[in-house]
Amino acid sequence: MLRRLTLFICTLALVNNVSAQEIKTLGLNGDLWSVDIRNGELTFLGLTGQHTHFWNSMAMDSQGRLYGAYGRYFAPYAIYEIDPQTGFATFVVQTSFIGIRAMAFDDNDVLYISNERDAPISFSPTDLHTLDLATGATTLIGDTGVFVLHTMEFSNGTLWGYAFDKGLIQLDTITGQATDVNSNIWGPWNATSSMCFNDEGALYFLDTYLWMFDSQTAGASLVNSLSLFGFWADAVFVEGPMPAFSLWLAGTTDGPMGVNFSGATPNGPVAIAWAKGDGGPTPIPSGFSCSGVAMDLNPNMQLLGTLAADNLGQGTFGPNFVPASALGQIRVQAIDLFTCATSNRVIVAY
């Protein structure tokens, strides 16, 4: 259990973890949803109004405008702007591509798209292009070297992707070439998948589950199953007034595994707790810092350790050796001991 700490607790603490952060995800059939980043709960937002064919990919520019690619495998895709509140889509421009699978805006709002060169042939080579939303003109960057590039996202100037044949990758925006982040880890894969970063660099991933990825090792941590089954075209992270307090794991079982977090109070104290087995919420007992705050762990939760966040509100505990017996059994969660806000819970899944 969390040991006693003589710390000043902010009276305006976010004890109930009220947060405006969310993931917006678009279904292949044109249904827009909001995803709770803590537990995978889905809330329906609306329909695009275009449901005859398929939606493949979605991206958000610096102004918060959503764009998606809509079409079918035997005809060129069109780009639509999607209302982030209602989901309704408005035509923007027609493209000449029939194999668009992913799209992402860079910091200058240049739109990058991936296109399966020989679509609708399955597993055809994938090229990286830029697309002019005003004219529909495209510029070829190069062959990525991967097949079925499900999703792309920029973070801190780097273009990331998730490919069927490699898992988590980085894409060179000069040549188009993909680099496998970790050839030893493929990661989760389902029929469709989507990923998005928040401003602090935490990487969220959707298939039929909500995951957190460690972008350095490509390790995946399971947050929860999504509350509804869906086939997802893509996802974007929507920031709120405060950074999201996010936790994920680095490494795999039978080896060193660390606990990473972001979005904590800069230079403030953070406690990491763990429990074996499912269960929760469990309130922190009286006599301890942040007593009464509910943790998403069972009553057998124990303190793993405490550390100070850096000046960006980030930190890493460990790494330490984690046995294979932890797989699917150990749940981990963090609490910011200054604000009493809790992170998402993750399950050791690899």
Looking up tokens 């937002």 gives: 45
Q: What angle do CA 27, 34, 202 make, to 5 degrees?
A: 100
Instruction: Return the pLDDT at 148.
Output: 84
Q: Is the peptide bond before 285 cis (omega within 30 degrees of 0)?
A: no
Burial of 11 (0-12, 13-18, 19+ CB in 10 A): exposed
DSSP one-letter code for 96:
S
pTM above 0.75, yes or no: yes
Residue type, 250: A
- Other CB atoms within 10 A of residue 289 CB: 21
Instruction: Return the pLDDT at 3.
Output: 35
Instruction: Return the pLDDT at 242.
Output: 86
- For domain 22-244, which architecture applies? 6 Propeller (2.120)
Instruction: Return the pLDDT at 310.
Output: 97
Q: For residue 106, which of 65, 149, 59, 176 has the smallest C-alpha distance?
A: 59
Looking up tokens 């389902």 gives: 190
Looking up tokens 């109070």 gives: 265
- SS3 for 97? coil
CB 167 within 8 A of CB 218: yes
Instruction: Return the pLDDT at 190.
Output: 63
CA 75 to chain centroid, in Å, comes to 30
- For domain 250-347, which architecture applies? Sandwich (2.60)
For 242-265, letters b (16+ CB in 10 Å) and e give ebbbbbbbbbbbeeebbbbbbbbb
In the chain, CATH 2.120.10.30 covers 22-244
CB within 8 Å of 284: residues ≥ 6 apart: 1, 2, 290, 291, 292, 293, 294, 295, 335
| Segments of the chain with pLDDT less than 50 | 1-18
In the chain, CATH 2.60.40 covers 250-347
CA dihedral 22, 107, 200, 331 (to 10 degrees): 60
- Other CB atoms within 10 A of residue 303 CB: 13
